Amino acid sequence: MKKAEPTRDVPLDQMLCFAVYKAEQAFNRVYRAALEPLGLTYPQFLTMRLLWRSGSSSVGEISEQLGLDSGTITPLIKRLTNMGLVRKERRADDERRVDIHLTQAGRELEAKSGEVLRCIGQALQMDMQQADATLQTINHLTSNLTRAVNVRTTGTDGDSAPHASIV
């Protein structure tokens, strides 16, 4: 594989990182409009999707699955609690762990969430094959970038010997 050489002559619109950044901004704008009727932000919506699948999760599990730190997830859960969509419960066997459970209102909100996904699907203007291929590419990119960070911070990617350098 040919390595890209950094240069100041490359225009922003030809940089992969800038294209991903712009796509993220566009996704956020579409989601903001689609989620407005539900009164949710995108991170709140993702949290609710996790809970709709599982029924309940610990704060730590939600944090890990969303890739958010406790300083971000704690106020997010507090807002969902104040909205009456979830409730917190300390585990009897380990009071350090807090589980998040859907309330009835939280379960009822799931029925309205289908419209959000329909809006996103419509905005993407891709068939399922294109969407799946794009998802695979983005997941591969994310995995490679995560591995690169691990190499840079620990000297190893966890799967192989340490690398001499990252380009």
Total residue length of the chain: 167
pLDDT at 151 (0 to 100): 78
43 close to 68: Cβ distance less than 8 angstroms: yes
Looking from the CA of 56 toward its CB, the CA atoms found within 13 Å total: 13
Task: Tell me the pLDDT of the chain (167 aa) as tens digits.
Answer: 566 666 677 888 888 999 999 999 999 999 999 999 999 999 999 999 999 999 899 999 999 999 999 889 999 999 999 999 999 998 888 888 889 999 999 999 999 999 999 999 999 999 999 999 999 999 999 999 989 888 777 666 555 444 433 33
Q: Supply the CATH classification number for the domain 12-126.
A: 1.10.10.10
User: Of 100, 93, 110, which Cα lies nearest the Cα of 74?
Assistant: 100
Transcribe 85-144 into DSSP letters.
Answer: SEEEEE-SS-TT-EEEEE-HHHHHHHHHHHHHHHHHHHHHT--HHHHHHHHHHHHHHHHH
Domain positions in the chain are 12-126
How far apart CA 47 and CA 13 sit, in angstroms, is 33
pTM assigned to the model: 0.79
